[in-house]
Structure 1
């Protein structure tokens, strides 16, 4: 026996998404009417109004506006309402919304000129002071979300928030190049190197140095942020827009980037023949103690000491950190 259709039995239709059309500029009352017509076609205006507990005039106005947007159509006698195929109607609505957004983006320059005129004449809107940990964190999240091409970072204490995979991994997934120089004191923290591996395996290019001059974040060629002063707490930061100062900060990053040691990717096939040795060199250059390295590699401190002396002898290094430097120059990292 063939099953009856839902309209004949009174069973509820499959759920339909809410909020989709609101995001495209269709007000919530109109969206409710649209979703009803989409799920239950062939209703008159009066029946739609009754099912949604709307007045007849309100339902009629909503249907008129939806028809003007191309989302519904009226047909038959007596007239009833049906939805236009969403792959056509909603796609057209989406394209119109995208055109509006593009026009708005094109007028950001006008907004910026107004903004700069309101700033102090000496700063000319190119450098802005951001105060408070929450405000700094919000600005940094906005910078990340607006990144298009590349992000440059000096990772140095104090940190206003832990590294957030939920923010960084989507950037890497959409092709934003991320280059980060970590200060070794931060890499030494328990479990920190394991956290960095997640970002490295996702595509982050990571290097490290014993000391960095300051915290720094540069996004594309548009924005930079750095602390007002170094210290135990980050209470104020400078937000820099395109200017000679931004160019200088980008150039400073490149100088330190080329001096830094690479933190290798664990998936690099060149690591397959000597994983422990390369991991040891990485941990040495990060400044970890023998006990910390032993815990990380799952061996005894005595074994680590033996490996360290063997590596230093092979490389002709006099100090542990020098061994890491010479290993990088030899292409072992």
Structure 2
């Protein structure tokens, strides 16, 4: 029975025939190109061409004579060498991006084409955002609010955090009303994301390093078109906008604090400052509305405050926020 192509080595640039032959050679020896082709249901000439390509990549050893048998090279050595070669090619390609961008700008129809690109369609936007997340090197800054194209992909963000990317996210308070999103935010915070919250945000915004900004073309309940902004004074202004809202936002409390009363107060004050109602805070914290109201009264009494706002100011001075 012929083996099925898995595509597991697609990242190494192996075609289907090449992968099938290499995997088969790992499990058998003493076969010629014709015998290998017959075992996998491909013509001898096709098998021979794929084996030649594998030999050029160092994954198989060429026979010394026509019709002789083929054998696989040890995968720990051969694949490692191929990986290093691919990494070198990728670094060279990355180095050509600036040159390609200059060519692109020279052929743009107008000055706007150099700085801003409009991307339309939900699938195109989702794929662009995924590519930007995969390509981020140093920092990712986000103003997070609805609408969303798709559910977030925790693996992408956790992978970026794992490779040392600094992530700062300001969430609009309504995001915290979704228990699933709160669980995701706590997961990211545990992995190193710095998360803050504000009652309202003016727009959705993502800043990838100092190279790109992504934001909607217009506000609304659906996200159909976005702007991709490249290095320019506009990108600088958007970065300044993020920093302004970051400085005003309140920290989202961690979920694993060992100081439970202090953490409860911090979480309560953060949710109050984020504009959530007592009922929403109660659902968020897993308690009754009456309990939330009692805790608020306790904080106001503790700081001698007549309003919730005054309690927040006193709490900030006491380093509870």
Alignment TM-score, normalising by the size of structure 2: 0.86
Q: Distance in 2 between matches of 1:27 and 1:164?
A: 29
CA change 1:222–1:55 in 2 (3 A) is: same
- Selected match of 1:37 from 22, 25, 28: 25
Count of residue pairs the alignment pairs up: 319
SS at match of 2:195: strand
User: Is residue 2:230 matched to residue 1:248?
Assistant: no
Q: Which residue of 2 aligns with 1:9?
A: none
Q: Which residue of 2 aligns with 1:3?
A: none
Instruction: Spell out the pairing of 1:137-286 with structure 2 (5 A cutoff).
Output: 137-189=126-178, 192-269=181-258, 271-286=259-274
Deviations, residues 245-280 of structure 1 (Å, cap 9, x unaligned): 1112112211221121111112244x3453333332
Q: Which residue of 2 aligns with 1:312?
A: 300
Q: Distance in 2 between matches of 1:109 and 1:329?
A: 48
Q: Which residue of 2 aligns with 1:301?
A: 289
SS at match of 2:319: coil
Q: Distance in 2 between matches of 1:22 and 1:272?
A: 49
Q: Distance in 1 between matches of 2:318 and 2:310?
A: 12
Q: Runs of 5+ in structure 1 lacking a partner?
A: 1-11
SS at match of 1:153: strand
- The Cα of 1:218 is off from its aligned counterpart by 0.4
Contact 1:207–1:261 (Cα < 8 Å) also in 2? yes
SS at match of 2:30: coil
CA change 1:236–1:328 in 2 (3 A) is: farther
User: Is residue 2:95 matched to residue 1:106?
Assistant: yes
Q: Distance in 1 between matches of 2:201 and 2:92?
A: 42
Return 146-155 or 208-217, whichever deviates more: 208-217
Contact 1:16–1:35 (Cα < 8 Å) also in 2? no
RMSD: 2.9
- The Cα of 1:299 is off from its aligned counterpart by 3.5
- Selected match of 1:289 from 253, 257, 277: 277
SS at match of 2:255: coil
Q: Distance in 2 between matches of 1:315 and 1:158?
A: 38
Moved over 6 A (4+): none
Contact 1:261–1:325 (Cα < 8 Å) also in 2? no
SS at match of 2:213: strand
Deviations, residues 270-327 of structure 1 (Å, cap 9, x unaligned): x345333333222222222223333333443333222211201223434324433442
CA change 1:77–1:245 in 2 (3 A) is: closer
Deviations, residues 114-138 of structure 1 (Å, cap 9, x unaligned): 3223333221411112234443333
Q: Distance in 2 between matches of 1:107 and 1:17?
A: 33
Return 88-97 or 144-153, whichever deviates more: 88-97
Q: Which residue of 2 aligns with 1:67?
A: 55
Q: Distance in 2 between matches of 1:53 and 1:236?
A: 47
